Amino acid sequence: MTVITGDDLRALLGQGLVEAMPDPELQEQMCGVELTLQRIESFESSGAVDFDNSQREVAKTGEIAFDQRGWVSLKPGAYLVTFNEIVAIPPDVTALARPRSSLLRSGATLATALWDPGYRGRSQSLLLVHNPHGLRLQRNARLLQLVFLRLGGQAGKVYSGAYQGENI
């Protein structure tokens, strides 16, 4: 696997790899694309994860409103964030995400999953605020960098799970 950069990354972006970016010029980085904050939700129930998903229950959440200036103040805790961008991963690509260093330096991080070949959707991640003083975020804040990796060939199977097409 190799990290997709430069002209190769721009070519994939031109083919719809990442759509709905508020500012593509700002968000395209040397080794990936930054995803931005659309929505924040707090957890309102427990979830359940089993072996074969037959008893899976995703936790219920409630949206946290931005103030009139587009900011939200978060206390320490766990939150579900939804990104503005729609990601469409080709069958010979996968993606990993890393939190932006500014988020880390503010006492928060993101827990993320693998973006599988064939996945298309407006993704979500787990925001963990560790700073005892909390965290303020503005709508469209750049939170993470998605790094795209070219596989050695086409994936033998592409994503077709419950989150395909999510939040579009």
Q: What is the pLDDT of residues 22-60, one digit of tens each?
A: 999 999 999 999 999 999 999 999 999 999 999 999 999
Residue 46 β-bridge partners:
none
Among residues 6, 24, 19, 32, the alpha carbon closest in space to that of 100 is found at: 32
Tell me 39's DSSP state: E
Q: How much is the pTM? A: 0.94
Q: Is the pLDDT score of 6 beyond 90?
A: yes
Query: What stretch of H or E contains 13?
Result: helix 6-14
Domains parsed from the chain with CATH numbers:
2-45+59-150 (2.70.40.10)
Give pLDDT, residue 85: 98
Convert 34-64 to b/e letters by CB count within 10 Å (16 or more is b).
bbbbbbbbeeeeeeeeeeeeeeeeeeebeee
Contact predicate 149/92, CB 8 Å:
no
pLDDT digits (tens, 9 = 90+) for 110-161: 999 999 999 999 999 999 999 999 999 999 999 999 999 999 988 989 998 8
CB atoms within 10 A of CB 84: 18
